[in-house]
């Protein structure tokens, strides 16, 4: 069986395209991984103290802050997913820069809402939405930038687990 030159070239082009696609996907995966590592290094060690109004109350290990905007569809999706999640034992705050931004969002029972431009600016990192976990000292211990292709349930579960993991620190702080 012989293969004509045009067919052989077409098959070769398909193989090259498949390898190119795999290379692009590999680079994309590495960039996302690098972004996570850089975010952990940059924001995980962020030692600035956030405003007292965002800190968890007595006996609560952490506040989970959802920095939201009124125009962003991903912000709406994140708020809906957060409202459907179990946050027992944590303080969860939807943070908006303006009443107009808040009014564009549906009500989310079980989630506290703060509308304050100064407080929003203290948390805002140039992108919305973000999920930030703050300990009792007001230190950012976890932050994730949220993208439309993120698994919102898994991302929120990670923040919830990080916040609940601080429970031992609360007991230590309250004992001292």
Taking only the tens of pLDDT, the chain with its 176 residues reads 788 999 999 999 999 999 999 999 988 888 887 777 776 666 554 445 788 888 898 888 999 999 999 888 999 999 999 999 998 989 999 999 999 889 888 888 888 999 999 888 888 888 889 999 998 888 888 889 999 999 999 999 999 998 888 876 544 444 44
pLDDT at 172: 47
Tokens of 129: 């939405």
Tokens of 43: 């924001």
pLDDT at 48: 58
Q: Whole-prediction pTM value?
A: 0.68
169 lies in the same domain as 119: yes
32 lies in the same domain as 60: no
pLDDT at 70: 86
104 lies in the same domain as 164: yes
Strands (E), 13-166: 62-67, 91-96, 112-115, 130-135, 140-145
What's the number of domains the chain is made of?
2
Q: What distance lies between CA 108 and its chain's CA centroid?
A: 18
109 lies in the same domain as 122: yes
34 lies in the same domain as 65: no
Expressed as residue numbers, the domain containing 28 is: 1-43
Q: What distance lies between CA 78 and its chain's CA centroid?
A: 9
73 lies in the same domain as 31: no
98 lies in the same domain as 133: yes
pLDDT at 2: 85
Q: Name which of 143, 154, 118 is nearest 62 in CA terms.
A: 143
């Amino acid at each position: 069986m012989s293969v004509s030159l045009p067919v052989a070239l077409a098959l070769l082009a398909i193989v090259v395209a498949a390898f190119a696609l795999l290379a692009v996907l590999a680079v994309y995966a590495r960039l996302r991984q690098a972004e996570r590592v850089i975010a952990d290094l940059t924001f995980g060690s962020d030692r600035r103290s956030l405003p007292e109004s965002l800190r968890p109350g007595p006996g609560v290990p952490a506040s989970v802050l959802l920095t939201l905007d009124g125009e962003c569809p991903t912000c709406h999706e994140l708020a809906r997913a957060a409202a459907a999640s179990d946050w027992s034992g944590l303080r969860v705050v939807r943070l908006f820069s303006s009443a107009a931004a808040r009014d564009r969002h549906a009500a989310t029972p079980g989630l506290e809402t703060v509308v304050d431009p100064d407080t929003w600016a203290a948390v805002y990192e140039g992108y919305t939405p973000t999920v930030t976990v703050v300990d009792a000292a007001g230190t950012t211990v976890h932050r994730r930038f949220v993208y439309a292709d993120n698994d919102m349930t898994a991302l929120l579960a990670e923040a919830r687990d990080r916040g609940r993991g601080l429970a031992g620190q609360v007991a230590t702080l309250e004992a001292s």
